[in-house]
């Protein structure tokens, strides 16, 4: 008989429910896109490539830099402040879409 071993699930339990998925746009022309970044790894390099390709494919796409929104990978207090301010910042910058870059 083969030996038996107890196994543990490597993931933590879910702490949030399902998120409703919104319809994705079919066209980016005329859109205003915000970059959010946790200031880890190579965000600015990736944003440059994404911006270039988006403009080549869709023409008139406007981008709002990650610097406008703050670092959401900081101290707990700073993360909370940044995330609480985010909805109003997105509205004030008239953002249609977000590219969230997390270097995890």
Residue 7 forms part of a structural domain: no
Residue 39 forms part of a structural domain: yes
Q: Which of 16, 54, 58 is nearest to 34 (CA)?
A: 54
Residue 24 forms part of a structural domain: no
Q: How many domains does the chain have?
A: 1
Enclosing domain of residue 62: 32-101
First to last CA, the chain: 42
Q: Which of 90, 10, 75 is nearest to 39 (CA)?
A: 75
Whole-structure pTM over 0.85, yes or no? no
The pLDDT > 90 percentage for the chain reads 48
Residue 19 forms part of a structural domain: no
Residue 12 forms part of a structural domain: no
Q: What is the pLDDT of residues 54-81, one digit of tens each?
A: 999 999 999 999 999 988 788 888 888 9
Q: From first to last of its 104 residues, what are the pLDDT tens digits of the chain?
A: 888 888 877 787 777 888 888 888 889 999 999 999 988 888 889 999 999 999 999 999 999 999 999 887 888 888 889 999 999 999 999 999 999 887 65
């Amino acid at each position: 008989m083969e030996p038996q071993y107890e196994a543990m699930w490597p993931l933590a339990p879910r702490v949030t429910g399902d998120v409703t998925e919104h319809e994705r746009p079919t066209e980016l022309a005329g859109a205003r896109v915000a970059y959010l970044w946790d200031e880890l790894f190579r965000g600015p390099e990736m944003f440059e490539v994404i911006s270039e390709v988006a403009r080549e494919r869709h023409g008139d796409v406007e981008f709002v830099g990650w610097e406008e929104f703050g670092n959401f990978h900081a101290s707990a207090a700073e993360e909370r402040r940044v995330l609480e301010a985010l909805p109003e910042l997105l509205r004030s910058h008239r953002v249609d879409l977000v590219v969230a870059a997390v270097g995890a």
